[in-house]
Amino acid sequence: MLTEKIREIAKKLLEEGKIEAFLCYEGTSHPFRNRAVLVKSPEEVKKLLWPSFGVINLATPLQKLKGQKAGILATGCVSRAIVVLIQEGQLKREDLFVVGVPCPGMLDPSKVRDKAPEIIDVIDDLKDEVLIVTPEDKIKFSREELLRNNCQECRHPVPPLYDLLLDFSGREKSPDPYRRVQEIEDLTLEERWQWFEREVLRRCFRCYACRQACPLCYCPTCFVDDSRPQWVGKTRDLIDTALYHLVRAYHLAGRCVDCGSCEAACPMDIPLRLLTKKLEKEALLAFSFEAGLDPEAPLLFTSFDENDPEDFMLTSELKASGKI
């Protein structure tokens, strides 16, 4: 259904010459991998499909098409990433034709892969059920269970920016988007450090796949590659890894659209999203700010309010206790 709709739209747009190329996903020889594909002629559209495992945000490859009039399949998070890229002057709105889909959520390859020793196909009804086909059997799973973490916690399944919205009923807004962040916040300081060290620092070997997959990490020279000053050392010392992860997350503060590409790209399954999700939560609570909803709105760090919170500052603390 969705696949047919996507092919039809892409074909029509290419035939009418409204776009030069259409960016979407295609299947692979692997039962639970989809990859991005760019089609340039109406004959090629039969490749395209709705990806149940489209884990890498299409806005990342989209930036390589600068200057071409391109169509793109956009779920909520892809569309929001495009909005941030437009806000930051990286993309031009008039170069794009955004085909929006109210997103049903995508499945997590790392959750599917452990369900059976051999999987030959995964059949996804995009509503409630997923069938995992093994050589002997078909096993039924609830879709909710196999969804990616960020899809379970998605706040905006419907794209905020599109030229055409496909008729489809996607997921509802998550009622409890910050559950996993809350679990970490509830730990003591010591436990949080142990969690960070165990889950992030000891596992990361700094392949920078998270940075490459991120639609918003587009700096030509990343701070980790700077050599004068060298912010991040080239050793496997934990502090170097910590510095990378903290500054990476901080650079996404008020920009991250929680598409989960970083986590999907990570070969070590590090819960990278929790760091950016924490910042997303703080931005929402303290500044009522959400990234990627309006291309005309200012960014979090390019704006301020006179009444921004100040109680975290030492001088406010001293003033409150009457010491100054």
Partner 1 sequence: MSWEPRIIAFLCNWCSYAGADLAGVSRLRYPPTIRIVRVPCSSRVSPAMILDALKSGADGVLVSGCHPGDCHYLTGNLFARRRFFMLKKLLEFVGLEPERVQFAWVSASEGDVFAKVVSELTEKIKLLGPNTRFRKILGGKI
Binding site for partner 1 (CB under 8 A): 184-185, 189-197, 200, 223, 229, 231, 233, 235, 237, 239-240, 242-243, 246-247, 249-250, 253-254, 275, 278-279, 282-283, 286-287, 300-302, 304-306, 308-310, 312-315, 318, 323-324
**Among the residues of the chain, which ranges form H helices?**
2-16, 59-62, 76-87, 109-112, 143-146, 149-152, 179-185, 189-195, 209-213, 238-251, 261-265, 273-287, 314-320
Task: Using CB atoms within 10 Å of the CB of residue 175, give its burial: 0 to 12 exposed, 13 to 18 middle, 19+ buried.
Answer: exposed
Min CB(196)–partner 1 separation in Å: 4
Question: Are 177 and 153 a contacting pair, CB within 8 Å?
Answer: yes
**Residue 47 or 281 having the CB closest to partner 1:** 281
Q: Which of 19/256 has CB closer to partner 1? A: 256
Nearer to partner 1, 163 or 199 (CB): 199
Q: In angstroms, give the least distance from the CB of 247 to partner 1.
A: 5
Beta-bridge partner residues of 142: 129
Q: What angle do CA 171, 210, 64 make, to 5 degrees?
A: 85
CB 127, CB 45: distance < 8 Å: no
Find all residues with CB under 8 Å of 209, minimum gap 6, and list them: 265, 266, 267
- Least CB distance from residue 279 to partner 1, whole Å? 6
Residue 234 CB, nearest distance to partner 1 (Å)?
Answer: 12
Minimum Å distance from CB 179 to partner 1?
A: 15
Q: Extract the tokens encoding 117.
A: 């020793």
Q: Quote the least distance from Cβ 270 to partner 1, whole Å.
A: 13
Nearer Cβ to partner 1 (143/278) = 278
Q: Choose between 16 and 190: whose C-beta lies nearer to partner 1.
A: 190
Nearer to partner 1, 136 or 190 (CB): 190
In angstroms, give the least distance from the CB of 208 to partner 1.
16
Give yes or no for a contact between 164 and 22, defined as CB atoms under 8 angstroms apart: no
DSSP characters for 248-311? HHHHTTTT-----HHHHH-TT---THHHHHHHHHHHHHHH---TTS-TTSPPGGG---TT---T
Q: Which is closer to partner 1, CB of 167 or CB of 311?
A: 311
